[in-house]
Amino acid sequence: NAPAPDENCLFCKIVAGEIPARIVHASDHSVAFRDVNPQAPTHVLVVPKDHYANAGEVAQHAPTMAADLITTARDVAAQEGLDNGYRLVFNTGEDAGQTVFHVHLHLLGGRSLEWPPG
């Protein structure tokens, strides 16, 4: 029993097609689209169609979905030609700067990425 869409959730609206996005990949379970404020030449967000607040929630309740986000990010990275590597990030909570509470995996690549991040 999947969670219902959240009518106040920006990414539920993107999944439903109610808000436009530059979609780069879609499957039965997930959608990948370009971040509106990119932090790297490739900056894509991979989200499950079902609403979960964060990575821990999706991994607990739908572990196959959590894995699907990572394999989808790998496939998009290949499609984007990120042969030199890429970074995957799940921001969780206030200290990490999470602003949208529908889990999204950031895929960043196309430049050298600092570590540790700011």
Give the nearest distance from C-beta 100 to ligand 5GP in angstroms.
4
At 78, is the secondary structure helix, strand, or coil? helix
Q: Does 118 bind ligand 5GP (CB under 6 A)?
A: no
Q: Which of 31, 33, 40, 68 binds ligand 5GP (CB under 6 A)?
A: 33
Residue from 1, 37, 64, 84 that binds ligand 5GP (CB under 6 A)? Answer: 37
Positions 98 through 117 that interact with Zn ion (CB under 5 A)? 102
Token digits for 39? Answer: 């932090």
Residue 25 near residue 39, CB atoms below 8 Å: no
The values of phi and psi at residue 43, to 5°, are -140, 100
Would you name the residues annotated as active-site residues? 104
